């Protein structure tokens, strides 16, 4: 009897243990059961355009819904709870998956209050809605990580800059067609100018330091903040296109794709730049060249210029040209004021010319007169149409008096001139050639 009783007791104990083990398994797997039931509901609703129409279902902490296009392109995720009132594309597909760790980035939501379908984006970048399989004009709230800002665009001229998370985008709700994620700009004491990517000092900011050059897409130059006594220079290649001496809230840029931006103190244009002025004595509107270039004039104004050491400028009009070196305060003296149609900025050409050569006709043509260094009195009648001047020398030519002038006139040259014109009507009386480092 006792052995039978012992056997019965053992069977009862095992039954209780098995029951407890089963209950424990059911309890632990409740989330899995919920997930399996949700899968069944999804499969059952596949005939209803792949969406549940009338069920609110708690998804749980371990699972998430992945929403995609019919072609499988990822749109976003749904956590915690599925609600049929959520804003979800009508043709979207829904899949239940294990929840993965959240990205530490920007999160944009279809619905307000950070609810419903969402998508995570890397911290930095520019995205159109189509690039992230997001229907346009569908975003209603956003989470932005610390240290970043987001620009939401309805179009290039209609945007809003957000520097913190928003539960409701208000007037910008369901208007976004693209967005840009940026680091929040930190103003440095060495920044004397700040270029904003949009008008009215909005958008991405680029700090500019004195003496540094920055390559910036012109599409990202919308407005500029400039400290007093400074100027911002924008170049297209080596051609200066714009100079801004004060803060401007709307910048209009030419068709160039990328600009080179630098900043300098007012009046402190670096000596290694060639500067071309509209007016004499280095005044009026001007532009700067950084590198050798051939430049076709369009405005027809040039009256003075500064040329760096070891460089020269060749100016041409329809009939003649002139070679210039050093600083030229007044092109009137060269009979080339506002005449240039083409300009060549280049390294100085090396020539072993030790004498001044005067030609009787323009363009270095006709009878030649070669004169040595020093002073030469010209006894015979000799007219001049052009002149070659050795590098590093200055030439003063004295013109014989002719009515209405009753005194000799002196003209100075420091570079080749193909058409000097001053001596067509009267001959040269003397020439003085001296060394003058330019």
The pLDDT tens digits of the residues spanning 326-364 come to 888 998 887 888 888 888 888 876 555 567 888 888 888
Residue 141: which pLDDT band, with cuts at 50, 70 and 90?
Answer: very high
In the predicted structure, residue 135 carries a pLDDT above the cut 90: no
Distance CA 134, CA 178 (A): 10
Distance CA 315, CA 328 (A): 12
Distance CA 177, CA 193 (A): 31
Distance CA 353, CA 131 (A): 66
Higher per-residue pLDDT: 388 or 269: 388
- Specify the pLDDT at position 226: 92
Average pLDDT over residues 37-63: 63
- Specify the pLDDT at position 9: 56
Please give the CATH superfamily to which domain 52-183 belongs. Crystallins (2.60.20.10)
Higher per-residue pLDDT: 28 or 303: 303
Average pLDDT over residues 392-421: 76
Question: Which tens digit of pLDDT belongs to each residue from 103-134?
Answer: 678 999 999 999 888 999 887 888 888 888 77
Distance CA 130, CA 73 (A): 11
What percentage of the chain exceeds 90 in pLDDT? 11
How far CA 344 is from CA of 295, 314, 329, 350, in Å, comes to: 6, 5, 18, 16
SS3 (DSSP) at 294? strand
Q: 198-224 burial, b if ≥16 CB within 10 A, otherwise e?
A: beebbbbbbbbeeeeeeebebebbbbb
Residue 193's nearest CA partner among 269, 245, 139 is 245
Distance CA 330, CA 386 (A): 19
Higher per-residue pLDDT: 257 or 19: 257
Average pLDDT over residues 14-43: 53
What percentage of the chain exceeds 70 in pLDDT? 80
Instruction: Tell me the sheet residues that pair with 287.
Output: 276
Average pLDDT over residues 128-157: 87
In the predicted structure, residue 299 carries a pLDDT above the cut 60: yes
How far CA 6 is from CA of 2, 11, 16, 20, 231, in Å, comes to: 6, 9, 16, 21, 101
Structure tokens, 426: 């009267």
Does the pTM surpass 0.85? The reply is no
Q: Where are the domains of the chain?
A: 52-183, 191-267, 356-435
Q: Residue 273: enclosing H or E segment and its boundaries?
A: none
Tell me which DSSP letter residue 86 carries: S
Distance CA 425, CA 20 (A): 125
Residue 30: which pLDDT band, with cuts at 50, 70 and 90?
Answer: low
- Specify the pLDDT at position 27: 40
Would you say the CATH fold of 191-267 matches that of 52-183? yes
Distance CA 188, CA 208 (A): 10
**What angle (nearest 5°) sits at the alpha carbon of residue 296, between those of residues 294 and 297?**
135
Which CATH code, of 3.40.50.2300, 2.60.20.10, 3.40.50.9100, 2.130.10.10, is assigned to 191-267? 2.60.20.10
In the predicted structure, residue 79 carries a pLDDT above the cut 80: yes
Among 29-33, 53-57, 195-199, 229-233, whose mean pLDDT is lowest?
29-33
Residue 156: which pLDDT band, with cuts at 50, 70 and 90?
Answer: confident
How far CA 98 is from CA of 59, 64, 69, 95, 412, in Å, comes to: 11, 6, 19, 10, 87
- Specify the pLDDT at position 31: 56
- Specify the pLDDT at position 347: 85
Distance CA 373, CA 434 (A): 6
| CATH 2.60.20.10 assigned to 356-435 | yes
Average pLDDT over residues 182-210: 88
Residue 51's nearest CA partner among 66, 41, 59, 61 is 41
Average pLDDT over residues 394-407: 73
Phi, psi dihedrals of residue 86, rounded to the nearest 5°: -65, 150
């Amino acid at each position: 009897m006792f052995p039978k009783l012992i056997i019965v007791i053992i069977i009862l104990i095992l039954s209780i243990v098995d029951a407890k083990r089963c209950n424990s398994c059911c309890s632990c797997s409740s989330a899995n059961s919920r997930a399996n039931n949700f899968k069944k509901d999804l499969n059952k609703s596949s005939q209803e355009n792949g969406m549940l129409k009338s069920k609110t279902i708690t998804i749980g902490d371990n699972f998430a819904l992945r929403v995609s296009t019919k072609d499988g392109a990822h749109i976003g995720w749904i956590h915690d709870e599925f609600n049929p009132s959520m804003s979800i594309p009508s043709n979207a597909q829904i899949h239940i998956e294990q929840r993965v760790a959240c990205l530490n980035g920007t999160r944009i939501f279809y619905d307000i209050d950070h609810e419903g379908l969402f998508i995570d984006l890397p911290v930095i970048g520019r995205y159109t809605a189509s690039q992230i399989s997001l229907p346009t004009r569908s975003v209603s709230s956003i989470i932005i990580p610390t240290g970043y800002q987001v620009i939401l665009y309805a179009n290039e001229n209609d945007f809003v800059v957000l520097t913190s998370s928003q539960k409701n985008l208000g007037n910008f709700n369901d208007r976004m067609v693209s967005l840009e994620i940026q680091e929040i700009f930190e103003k440095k004491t060495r920044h004397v100018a700040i270029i904003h990517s949009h008008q009215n000092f909005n958008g991405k900011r680029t700090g500019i330091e004195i003496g540094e050059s920055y390559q910036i897409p012109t599409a990202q130059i919308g407005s500029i903040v400039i400290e007093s006594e400074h100027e911002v220079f924008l170049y297209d290649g080596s051609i200066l296109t714009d100079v801004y001496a004060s803060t401007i809230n709307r910048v209009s840029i030419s068709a160039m794709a990328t600009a080179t931006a630098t900043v300098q103190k007012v009046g402190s244009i670096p000596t290694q730049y060639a500067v071309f002025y509209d007016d004499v004595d280095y005044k009026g509107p001007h532009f700067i060249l950084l590198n050798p270039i051939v430049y076709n004039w369009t405005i027809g104004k040039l009256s003075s210029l500064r040329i760096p050491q070891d460089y020269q400028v060749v100016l041409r009009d329809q009939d003649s040209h002139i070679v210039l070196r050093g600083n030229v305060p007044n092109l009137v003296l060269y009979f080339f004021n506002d005449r240039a149609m083409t300009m060549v900025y280049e390294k100085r050409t090396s020539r072993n010319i030790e004498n001044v050569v005067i030609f009787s006709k323009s363009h270095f043509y006709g009878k030649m007169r070669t004169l040595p260094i020093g002073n030469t009195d010209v006894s015979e009648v000799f007219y001049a149409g052009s002149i070659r001047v050795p590098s590093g020398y200055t030439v003063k030519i004295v013109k014989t008096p002719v009515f209405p002038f009753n005194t000799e006139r002196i003209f100075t040259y420091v570079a080749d001139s193909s058409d000097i014109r001053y001596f067509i009507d009267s001959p040269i009386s003397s020439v003085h050639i001296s060394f003058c480092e330019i």
